[in-house]
């Protein structure tokens, strides 16, 4: 069942871009309903936390300028994302720089721009940051991202705080780091940060993590570091099996878990990605062939894991609906992409009859869709169109 907003999105998509694309080219494309992301951004802002959108989820320029206008900050993880966020209007003091692989070039640029906060993920990175800041004669505002050893209930490929994880400073290393920091004058430890994984549906996890971080915050403050901020990361999931009508109703519980459980007077920072943008996006693809196998029937689309990697990487489910609804019995299709790779499949779906050249909508593709698209098999990166209040937005 499609929700009203999804029908509006499809109608918006079919009103102009789809017709143009059908006439002019046969390639899949993304359409974003920016109004949906705007509503979610506004709901997040109401929490009272400082909200930094995780740009990795979707870095479409028109989206970023809109989120900036709504008063959100940005959370970036590469020089490319940092430059793009600044180019889209975010001020340096709106930006948190996360990421496990920030080297000399990235850190130098961030220092030169005097961004709000650099989240360091290792002792080694902290030492480099301190050296670079000293060379430049500036003081770096940093937070340390802690690996708190929580195996978040989500796909293992998007857990980020198990003992084996490459992310964050292992909590057992913190005392040594603090001892070292005491003797430094070019890094100011402003806060602690955490992010235990993505697509987390159980709000209890955020409660557990914010409590742990609150305890740690008090310990570090008691050890003589005047912290001000707790960055509780992102990670709130959506139900990919249903439309998003009830998503916003989940926010109060999520905010409560994050904002009330730490028991400190720290300023709380949040870094949502998926929850803001997953629902706003559909990938519109075309059926190339309906292929009858012996036991299975395949709907082969013109877009697959090149356009949307999530099913291949995390066995992720995305709802699929044809744009032409043919009467008659529904049939089971294995909906697959065109690539020479067996993992290039969206999975089995019961759908109204499909015919070659029909268009289908693949839902909830606004997060980690276009940003992860690639050119495997020399496929083209899908175009991205955005609509705001039903109007096409061009940038």
Contact residues: ligand LLP, CB under 6 A: 54, 56-57, 75, 98, 158, 195, 198-199, 233-236, 271-275, 310, 314, 367-368
What is the closest distance, in whole angstroms, from the C-beta atom of residue 52 to ligand LLP in the complex? Answer: 8
CB atoms within 10 A of CB 320: 21
CA 336 to chain CA mean position, Å: 24
CA 59/CA 371 separation, integer angstroms: 7
Taking the least distance from each CB to ligand LLP, the nearer of 38 and 310 is 310
What is the closest distance, in whole angstroms, from the C-beta atom of residue 199 to ligand LLP in the complex? Answer: 5
Taking the least distance from each CB to ligand LLP, the nearer of 12 and 234 is 234
Residue 378: both structure tokens together: 């020399």
Q: Please list, in sequence order, all residues whose beta carbon lies within 8 angstroms of the beta carbon of residue 320, skipping any fewer than 6 positions away.
A: 335, 346, 349, 351, 360, 361, 362, 363
What is the closest distance, in whole angstroms, from the C-beta atom of residue 354 to ligand LLP in the complex? Answer: 26
Q: Closest by alpha carbon to 236, among 191, 193, 204, 268? A: 204
Element (H, E) at 276: helix 274-277
What is the closest distance, in whole angstroms, from the C-beta atom of residue 107 to ligand LLP in the complex? Answer: 16
Alpha helix (H) residue ranges in 102-250: 104-113, 123-136, 174-182, 204-222
Taking the least distance from each CB to ligand LLP, the nearer of 262 and 287 is 262
What is the closest distance, in whole angstroms, from the C-beta atom of residue 83 to ligand LLP in the complex? Answer: 19
Cα 220-226-230 angle, rounded to 5 deg: 65
What is the closest distance, in whole angstroms, from the C-beta atom of residue 4 to ligand LLP in the complex? Answer: 25
């Amino acid at each position: 069942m499609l929700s009203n907003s999804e029908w509006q999105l499809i109608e918006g998509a079919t009103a102009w871009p789809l017709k143009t694309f059908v006439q002019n080219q046969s390639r899949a494309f993304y359409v974003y309903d920016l109004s949906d992301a705007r509503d979610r951004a506004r709901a997040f802002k109401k929490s009272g936390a400082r909200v930094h959108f995780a740009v990795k989820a979707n870095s479409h320029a028109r989206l970023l300028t809109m989120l900036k206008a709504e008063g959100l900050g940005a959370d970036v993880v590469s020089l490319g994302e940092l430059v793009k966020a600044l180019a889209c209007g975010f001020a340096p003091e709106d930006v948190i720089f996360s990421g496990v692989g920030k080297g000399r070039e990235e850190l130098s640029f961030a220092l030169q721009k005097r961004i709000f906060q650099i989240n360091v993920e290792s002792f080694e990175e902290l030492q480099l940051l301190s050296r670079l800041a000293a060379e430049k004669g500036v003081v770096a505002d940093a937070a340390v991202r802690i690996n708190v050893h929580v195996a978040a209930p989500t796909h293992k490929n998007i857990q980020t705080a198990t003992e084996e994880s490459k992310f964050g400073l292992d909590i057992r290393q913190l005392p040594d780091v603090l001892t070292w920091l005491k003797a430094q004058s070019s890094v100011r430890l402003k806060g602690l940060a955490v992010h235990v994984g993505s697509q987390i549906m159980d709000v209890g996890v955020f409660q557990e993590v914010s409590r742990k971080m609150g305890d740690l915050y008090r310990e570090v403050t008691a050890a003589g570091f005047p912290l001000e901020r707790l960055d509780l990361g992102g990670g709130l999931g959506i139900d990919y099996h249903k439309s998003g009508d009830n998503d916003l109703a989940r926010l109060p519980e999520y905010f409560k878990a994050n904002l009330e459980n730490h028991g400190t007077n720290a300023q709380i920072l949040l870094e949502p990605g998926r929850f803001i943008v997953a629902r706003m996006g559909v990938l519109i693809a075309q059926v190339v062939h309906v292929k009858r196998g012996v036991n299975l029937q395949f709907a082969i689309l013109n877009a697959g894991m090149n356009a949307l990697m999530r099913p291949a990487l995390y066995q992720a489910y995305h709802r699929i609906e044809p744009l032409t609804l043919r009467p008659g019995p529904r049939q089971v299709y294995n909906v697959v992409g065109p690539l020479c790779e067996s993992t290039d499949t969206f999975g089995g779906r019961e759908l109204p009859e499909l015919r070659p050249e029909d268009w289908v909508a693949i839902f909830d593709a606004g997060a980690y869709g276009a940003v992860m698209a690639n050119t495997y098999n020399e496929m083209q990166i899908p175009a991205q169109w955005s609509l705001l209040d039903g109007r096409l937005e061009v940038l």
